[in-house]
Amino acid sequence: MWGAAVDSVSADEKHVLYGVRVIVERQEIDNVWQPHRWVIHDLVPLNRVAGDGTPPINDIALTPLRTGDEGLSMLFTADASLDLHHAEAEAYAENLASSDPAIYLVLRKNENSDDYEDVEADENAADRHVAEISLSPYNIQDYEDCGEDQVEKLQLQGPIAEFVEAFVARHFQPEPFKKRRRDKAHVSLRDAGRGDIRRVGKRPLLLRAHRVCGFPRLRLRSAPRRIFGLALPRFQGA
């Protein structure tokens, strides 16, 4: 069992294991493919102990507690640990800031191994076990993406919520918002005040086209020509 009283470990510890007792109900249903379903009945806070940095192994079998009326339902229990580490304080803060702060519980179907009892041999045995319990929405996202496990959300409230709030306030320091300053454009003095930086020197590009493209340069001769009594300029290629 847990080795310390609830109030003996404060939120100043960098690693805390918060013991909880999960109570799960197996409800029989009229379904050919699924004879029963699993519902989280309650979660009871237990003791807190200081951790050594090693995460707990929450792979715990469900133990029968009692049978309901006419055997239609049955309660199971499992003792697990909520892992609070100062390196994940930001994830806990994200959980508290959400519209529905929660404790995430993962139930997984038992495999054919010696770790769990055979359901067919004992009708009171559970075919599920607690695979994970966490306060971090980031850690639980992998289980949700997998889709093979049953992920349940329990409302985060009571003494557990109060301790998580104190733990976050002690270990999470949000970074202050810094407004990014835009870089000022550097305009060289040579191009300042000019409408088109493609202009070179004082001559327009059109007057210099004969040098670039090989076009003949047209020039005006002084001798005018008269056509129908009008004096017109005469052009000649250079």
Three-state secondary structure of the chain = CCCCCHHHCCCCCCEEEEEEEEEEEEEECCCCCCCEEEEEEEEEEEEEEECCCCCCCCCEECEEEEECHHHCEEEEEEEEEEEEEHHHHHHHHHHHHCCCCEEEEEEEECCCCCCCCCCCCCCCCCCEEEEEEECCHHHHHHHHHHCCCEEEEEECCHHHHHHHHHHHHHHCCCCCCCCCCCCCCCCCCCCCCCCCCCCCCCCCCHHHHHHHHCCCCEEECCCCEEECCEEECCEEEC
Whether the pLDDT of residue 214 is over 80: the answer is no
Name the average pLDDT for the chain. 76
Whether the pLDDT of residue 237 is over 60: the answer is no
What number is the average pLDDT over the span 169-183? Answer: 77
Whether the pLDDT of residue 72 is over 80: the answer is no
Percent of residues, the chain, with pLDDT higher than 70: 63
Whether the pLDDT of residue 33 is over 90: the answer is no
> In the prediction, which pLDDT does 46 show?
92
The DSSP bridge partners found for residue 50 are 16
- Whether this prediction's pTM lies above 0.85 is answered by no
**Between 180 and 41, residue with greater pLDDT:** 41
Whether the pLDDT of residue 222 is over 60: the answer is no
What number is the average pLDDT over the span 114-127? Answer: 58
Whether the pLDDT of residue 142 is over 60: the answer is yes
Cα separation, 162 vs 7, whole angstroms: 12
pLDDT band at 70 (very low <50, low <70, confident <90, very high): low
pLDDT band at 4 (very low <50, low <70, confident <90, very high): very low
Whether the pLDDT of residue 89 is over 50: the answer is yes
Whether the pLDDT of residue 2 is over 60: the answer is no
Whether the pLDDT of residue 190 is over 50: the answer is yes
